[in-house]
Each structure stands twice: as C-alpha cells, then as structure tokens.
Structure 1
Amino acid sequence: MARILVVDDEVGIRELLSEILYDEGHTVDLAENAAAARALRAAHRPDVVLLDIWMPDTDGVTLLKEWASQGVLDMPVIMMSGHATIDTAVEATRIGAMDFLEKPITMSRLLKTISTALERGRSGTRPAAVAAPAAVRAGGPAAYAPPPVTSTVGAVGADYGRPVQPAVAERPVPATLPADAPPRTPLQDLSLDLPLREARDAFERVYFEHHLAREGGSMTRVADKTGLERTHLYRKLKQLGIELSRKRSV
C-alpha cells in the first residue's frame, strides 16, 4: 500500500493511528518529535506524513516550513491538531500542507484524507486550499482539549488514557467438579464486591475479549457486533489493556 510517517509527541495517538493504518495495509513509521521526523523522512521517504502542530521542541508548522525551504516537501503532509486557530490552519496550507485533521479524528475522515493525499501524491497535483475545521472557523481554539495525563499517553478521543488493569477477583476453585458440571465462564469469576468502575471495566474486558475470539480477531466484525465505530473500538481496547495481535484480520 503506502508508507506513512506519523509525527506526534503523544504516544497514545501514535499507537492508535499506527494500529488503524497498519490494519489498512500501510507501512507506518512513528516519530515522537521533529528530530525523529527529520531522520525518518530522510531514511524512508514517506508517501504521506501525518504531522501534529503542537509539539514541545519544534512545532509542526516550523518543521513544515523547514522542509519547504529545503526543497524536500515532495510528499503530501496532513496537519493534525486539537486546538489550532484558523490562522495556524491557513498558514500551514499556504506553506504546502495538503489537508488539516481536527482531533479527535474519526476513522472515516482519517482514511478518506489519506486516500485523497495518496491520489494527489501519485498524480503530483498541488494541494487545493483547505477549509478550516468548523470549530476553528468559529474563531479561536477548537472545542476539544486533550485530557490531563500523568504520563506521555495522549488521546485521539476524549476518554483515551492509561490502560486499565483487569479487575477480576480470585475465587477458590473446588478441588473436583461434578462430571456433569457446565464449564465456568469468565463472568462467573467477576466479583460483585468491586467498586462500580472496576466491575464495569472487568465486564467490558470479558465482553470485548469474547467478541474478538468469536470473530477471529476481525476488528471490522467486532465493531459491527458491538455497535462501535472502529476508532472508538481501538481506543476502548487500549483503555482496557487488551493486547491487539498484529496478525488479526480486519
């Protein structure tokens, strides 16, 4: 498919975008800052770059200007931000950004923008003017603000955070079971004495692991079965600490 460079200082966003793009068949390189982005861009010329605007060392707009001034802005660049102003979005487009994604980023918007960028990159078409997101056009910062975190884990969606450890209480198991006893289920091992939030997290973990196993790891079918949009499904699995196998199907 394509080689995509994701540049974002928040590890949670990098991992989530990587999982989504990997499932779509793309090769993904991850950079946590401008220095890493420079090195990866030089080592592996990407087909598309997803570039966050606000980063602690060198911000995305400055890096975009640098690439443009050096004559190496020869790939489509899609800017990302959860709190950009209209001036920032317009400036990035003027410099040469192909498009602008407002966080939280939906699956459909992400994949559509990537597809458009790849088509333009293959045809060599110059990027058209990009309209600022609705929240930015309203004047001032977008409504989204990343949740406070105690580590570098960030959020593509509003509730993404540190993975929750499974809260399954241990119960004594009889030494022998009757021959006709039905097999125990994970739900029978959940303790009702847990605080509500821990009990809910434990139930959701069992629930999603059940559907992942039932659907052979297909994220598309699990999303359909559970009624979640795939971006939210990825976030929920990460939040619950459920490991996602690289070999699963989409």
Structure 2
Amino acid sequence: MANILVVDDEMGIRELLSEILGDEGHVVQLAENAQQARLARQEAKPDLVLLDIWMPDTDGVTLLKEWQRDGLLTMPVIMMSGHATIDTAVEATRIGALNFLEKPIALQKLLKAVQQGLTRTPETNRPAVPPLRVISSDHGNNVNNAHNLQSANSNFENRSFNVAQVAAPAPVNQFASLSFDLPLREARDAFERIYFEYHLNRESGSMTRVAEKTGLERTHLYRKLKQLGVESVKYAKRGE
C-alpha cells in the first residue's frame, strides 16, 4: 500500500482516480491546486504524485520546477494533461517527472505508470514499495506515452484481492419488485442497480471480474456504479 497524491483542478478526475487507486489498496490524498499540493507534500510526504499540468493558480510544470529547486522532488511524479504538447512533456521529464499521461487516461496505462513509479528506487535509497500486480487489460482509449519514457512490452500478472466473506448473491427475484409504472429512466436505473449489485456480490467485489462479466471497460464501470449510487467497496475488503 502506498500514499499517492493526486493533484488536479477537475473534481471528476480527482474522484475517479481516487476510486481507482483506492480500490488498488492505496491511500489517496487529493489536491485541487498547487497550494494544496504544497501543503500535502509537506505534511504527508507521498510515495508518488499524479500532477496535472494545467491548473488555475500555478501550473504543474512550474510546481515541478519548484520542488526540484527546493530539493523536494524525492518522490516519482507522473504528469497528466489533456492539452499539453510533446515539448511540454519533454520539458517536464527533463526537470524530473517520471512519466506523462495524456487525458483521457486509460485504466491500464494509469496502473502501469503507477506500478513503474512505485517500484522505482529513489536516489535517497528509500526502500522501494513492493510492486503492484496490474489488473487485466482494458479496452478504453489508448494513451500516448510521451518521449518513449517507459517500455510498453512488460508483461504483468493479474492483481489478486483479499476479499471478505460476503452475503450470497442477490436473488434474481429482486427484479420482481420493479414497478412497470415507473418512468423508463427510473425503471432502467433500478434494474441496473440490482444487476450490478448482483454481480458485485457474485464476484466478491472484484471490479476486474465484474467488468469482464458485464462487458464494460473498467473505467466506465466505475462511473456507472457512481452514477447509480452503488458503493463497490461494500462488497470486498481492500488489500493491505
């Protein structure tokens, strides 16, 4: 388990990354601007930082330069942006960023970059965090890895979860409680909520297996569960 700081001015991005990384067993801190990131860096000393480039107060590259100048760049930093140029990505890596991810960030690329960052031994000889095992490949948007920083040919095993004992799968007859008098949208949401809760119970909370069973890309699955108000954490114990 690692302490990861996510710095992004978009609430949706922060929440999504927090859910994904939290599900992988990490402790996640959130910052919406450079000032909050400075305070979080000072107080918690994160093992890895995901840093957005375009922010309203101070941009990510400037903050990266500041940390490098003040001797605070002791943790791997992965830059993120939906609008940055290759020149910006190259500049960030020259300053000291480990990697660059282009938005929208595909799940497999995110977890691969995080795994590479956490298994990299810093110059301070601080022990490296034990490597994560990346979950099965998603089929979302491909993300260009700027400047060929990391090899794309590494093979990763599926990550395993320690799961708690959960209740038996939700009975199919729950669907009998659905009312045909509901507006179509409400009836569809009710159906989907029961449907996903059933699969989460059946798969002991494994988001990887639920994604496979339901035919959804995992990032889309996270968003769908959030939209329906289904908390996946209730169905599994996070690995420690």
Q: What do the CA deviations read for 1:164-205 (whole angstroms, capped 9, x no partner)?
A: xxxxxxxxxxxxxxxxxxx99343343445554444333222
| Contact 2:178 2:190 (8 Å CA) reproduced | yes
Q: Residues 76, 244 of structure 1: CA spacing in aligned structure 2 closer, same or farther, 3 A cutoff? A: same
Q: Residues 201, 134 of structure 1: CA spacing in aligned structure 2 closer, same or farther, 3 A cutoff? A: same
Q: Residues 9, 121 of structure 1: CA spacing in aligned structure 2 closer, same or farther, 3 A cutoff? A: farther
Q: Residues 217, 24 of structure 1: CA spacing in aligned structure 2 closer, same or farther, 3 A cutoff? A: same
Secondary structure in structure 1 of the residue aligned to 2:30: strand
- Distance (Å, rounded) in 2 between the aligned partners of 1:119 and 1:214: 33
Structure 2 unpaired stretches of 5+: 126-142, 148-170
Q: CA deviation at 1:246?
A: 6.0
Partner of 1:228: 216
| Contact 2:53 2:81 (8 Å CA) reproduced | yes
| Contact 1:47 1:121 (8 Å CA) reproduced | no
The alignment yields a C-alpha RMSD, in angstroms, of 2.7
Q: CA deviation at 1:107?
A: 1.9
Alignment map for 1:156-175 (pairs within 5 Å): none
Secondary structure in structure 1 of the residue aligned to 2:50: strand
Q: CA deviation at 1:112?
A: 1.0
- Distance (Å, rounded) in 1 between the aligned partners of 2:117 and 2:145: 23
- Find out whether 1:205 has 2:205 as its counterpart: no
Identical residues among aligned pairs (%): 69
- Find out whether 1:88 has 2:88 as its counterpart: yes
Alignment map for 1:44-59 (pairs within 5 Å): 44-59=44-59
Alignment map for 1:1-250 (pairs within 5 Å): 1-122=1-122, 134=144, 185-192=173-180, 194=182, 196-245=184-233, 248-249=236-237
Secondary structure in structure 2 of the residue aligned to 1:100: strand
- Distance (Å, rounded) in 1 between the aligned partners of 2:39 and 2:145: 33
Output the amino acid matched with 1:208. F
Q: CA deviation at 1:217?
A: 2.1
- Distance (Å, rounded) in 1 between the aligned partners of 2:43 and 2:49: 14
Secondary structure in structure 2 of the residue aligned to 1:30: strand
Q: What do the CA deviations read for 1:65-101 (whole angstroms, capped 9, x no partner)?
A: 1111212111110001122222221221222111001
- Distance (Å, rounded) in 2 between the aligned partners of 1:246 and 1:73: 36
- Distance (Å, rounded) in 1 between the aligned partners of 2:201 and 2:15: 22
Structure 1 unpaired stretches of 5+: 126-132, 138-182
- Distance (Å, rounded) in 2 between the aligned partners of 1:247 and 1:42: 35
Bigger CA radius of gyration: 1
Secondary structure in structure 2 of the residue aligned to 1:217: coil
Partner of 2:157: none
- Distance (Å, rounded) in 2 between the aligned partners of 1:63 and 1:96: 11
TM-score (structure 2 length as normaliser): 0.72
TM-score (structure 1 length as normaliser): 0.69
- Distance (Å, rounded) in 2 between the aligned partners of 1:218 and 1:184: 20
Q: What do the CA deviations read for 1:1-31 (whole angstroms, capped 9, x no partner)?
A: 3211111122222222122212222222111
| Contact 1:34 1:59 (8 Å CA) reproduced | yes
Q: CA deviation at 1:243?
A: 2.2
Moved over 6 A (4+): none
Give the count of matched residue pairs.
198
- Distance (Å, rounded) in 2 between the aligned partners of 1:88 and 1:194: 52
- Distance (Å, rounded) in 2 between the aligned partners of 1:20 and 1:32: 18
| Contact 1:75 1:121 (8 Å CA) reproduced | no
- Distance (Å, rounded) in 1 between the aligned partners of 2:63 and 2:180: 52
Q: CA deviation at 1:49?
A: 0.4
Q: Residues 232, 123 of structure 1: CA spacing in aligned structure 2 closer, same or farther, 3 A cutoff? A: farther
Secondary structure in structure 2 of the residue aligned to 1:120: coil
- Distance (Å, rounded) in 1 between the aligned partners of 2:222 and 2:123: 32
Q: CA deviation at 1:236?
A: 1.5
